Amino acid sequence: MALLSLFDHEKSRREEEILASGNGTAQLSVAVVENDFVGRVYEKLAIVYDLAFGPTLQPGRRRAIAQMSMGPDVRVLEVGVGTGMNIDLYPPDCSVVGIDLSGPMLEKAHGRMIRRGLRNVRLLEMDAAHLKFADKTFDIVYAPYVMSVVPDPVAVVREMHRVCKNGGRIVMLNHFRSANPVLAWLERALSPFTVHIGFKADLDLPAFLAQAGMAPVSIEKVNTPRIWSLVTCVKE
C-alpha cells in the first residue's frame, strides 16, 4: 500500500521542468532490446494481451483519443497498433493507418476490425523506426504504449516527426521513469526483468525528449495509478 501511495501522490512535472532537466547524453534505460526479441515476446503475448493490458490501460487510450479532437478527413498514423484496442475509438470520418512489427498482434487487430465493421482503418506490418511513408503524410501520429518496447525510441519519434505534417501533432502515451528518487531506483532495478514481459520500466522522459529534439506542449498523467504520461508535441 505504501508503494501505491507513492505512485498515487506523485505530482505531474511541468513541461518547463521536463525540458530544463533534459540531458542529451543521458542513458535512456538500463535495459536493451532488439526487434527480434520484441517480436518473440509479443508473439507469445498476443493471445493474452487484451486481458493483461486491456482494462488497466484503456482509460489512457480513451483520454488520448479524446484530447486529439479529430475533425473530418483527419489522417492518423497509429504506431504500434498491437491488437487494435484503439481502432474503434476513432471517429468514423477520419482515416487511420495502424502499423505494428508483430504479425500475430496484427492478426488480432484485423479480426477486431472485421467484427466491428470498421472501414476507415488500414493495418500494415512495419518497423516503427523505418516508416514506409512520405514526409508530411499524417495530421496526427500517435504511439500508445510503444516507446518502452522499441530498441531505439529516439529513432522512432524522429520518424514520427518526419511523417507528420507541419502543424500536426505527435502524441505519445507511455510509462516513463518516475521523478520520485525511490521509485526511479526501483524502476531501474526492475527494468532488466520487465523487458521479458514486453516493456522497459525506466525510460527517462527528459533525456528522451532532449535526444529526440522534441518540445511538448502538454504532459498529462493518466490511468490509475497515474504512472503513465500522455505527451503531446506539435510539429512546427
pLDDT score at 38: 67
- Is 67 within the bounds of a domain? yes
- Is 2 within the bounds of a domain? no
pLDDT score at 42: 67
Q: Which residue has the cell 504504449?
A: 145
What CATH number does residue 27 fall under?
3.40.50.150
Domain that holds residue 96: 12-234
pLDDT score at 12: 45
Q: Cis before residue 225, ω within 30 degrees of 0?
A: yes
- Is 5 within the bounds of a domain? no
- Is 3 within the bounds of a domain? no
The tens-digit pLDDT sequence of the chain (236 residues) is 444 444 444 444 444 444 445 566 577 887 777 677 667 766 777 777 787 778 899 999 999 999 998 989 999 999 999 999 999 999 999 999 999 999 999 999 999 999 999 999 999 999 999 999 999 999 999 999 999 989 899 999 999 999 999 999 999 999 999 989 999 999 999 888 887 777 788 999 999 999 999 999 999 999 999 999 999 999 98
What are the residues whose beta carbons fall under 8 Å from the beta carbon of 34, sequence distance 6 or more?
151
- Is 4 within the bounds of a domain? no
Dist. CA 207–CA 165, nearest whole Å? 25
The domain tally of the chain equals: 1
